[in-house]
Homo-oligomer: A and B are copies of this chain.
Amino acid sequence: MPRTSTKAEAPVRRLAPDYRLEDQVGFLLRKAYQRASSNLVERIGSYDLTAPQYATLARLYERGALSQNLLGRLVAMEPANIRDVVLRLKKRRLVATRRDPTDKRLILIDLTAAGTALVEQLIPIETECTATTLAPLKADERGLLYELLSRLAEG
């Protein structure tokens, strides 16, 4: 008997023959996010903004000045990551930073006039982009998706 198969490999006995990657929510969520992010970049990419950068600007627009740390939590970014994003936005003069006078640990971030104007220009585009992403869903399904995703995100 030859040590290596000649014509056909011996059939491999698999312990999990019916496992499917598609059954894992994480994989589906990753693909869906890729699609949403891609849709956004297609439309606002010409402004040289990424999805996380837009989220950061939008959050500042909603809430006004925030400490860097709180801002990070409100856009779901770790301290190390929000720092880099803020640095890039600051370099482009879309946000400005100042020290909190009462708590010397904090750095307060706020939109500049240019940043505010840009957000107001982008909001309708982003809303349109969300509609594009949701296009495969019927109206009643969209609200349901929000409900389900919100609960998943909270945990």
Report whether B35 and A33 are in contact in the complex, using a CB–CB cutoff of 8 Å: no
Residue of B nearest to A147 (CB): B141
Report whether A27 and B55 are in contact in the complex, using a CB–CB cutoff of 8 Å: yes
Bound-state Cα–Cα, A19 to B37, Å: 19
Prevailing SS type, chain A contact patch? helix
A28-B149, A58-B19, A59-B21 known; A35 vs B133 contact (CB < 8 Å): no
Q: Which of A20, A129, A148 has its CB near the most chain B CB atoms (within 10 A)?
A: A148
Kindly identify which residue among B21, B61, B136, B144 contacts A151, using a CB–CB cutoff of 8 Å. B136
Per-residue contact bits, chain A 9-49, to B (CB 8 Å; 1 contact, 0 not): 00010111001111111111111111111011000000000
Chain B residues with CB below 8 A from A20, complex form? 62
Bound-state Cα–Cα, A34 to B33, Å: 10
Decide yes or no whether A8 CB sits under 8 A from chain B: no
Bound-state Cα–Cα, A120 to B14, Å: 8
Instruction: List 17 other contacts, CB 8 Å, given A26-B129, A35-B155, A144-B144.
Output: A22-B150, A23-B130, A24-B126, A25-B130, A25-B133, A25-B145, A26-B40, A28-B146, A29-B29, A30-B37, A31-B76, A31-B149, A32-B149, A32-B153, A34-B76, A137-B148, A145-B148
8 contacts between A and B (CB under 8 A): A21-B62, A22-B150, A25-B145, A26-B36, A29-B149, A31-B76, A136-B155, A144-B148
Minimum-distance CB pairs A-B, first 5: A26-B36, A31-B153, A29-B33, A136-B151, A28-B149
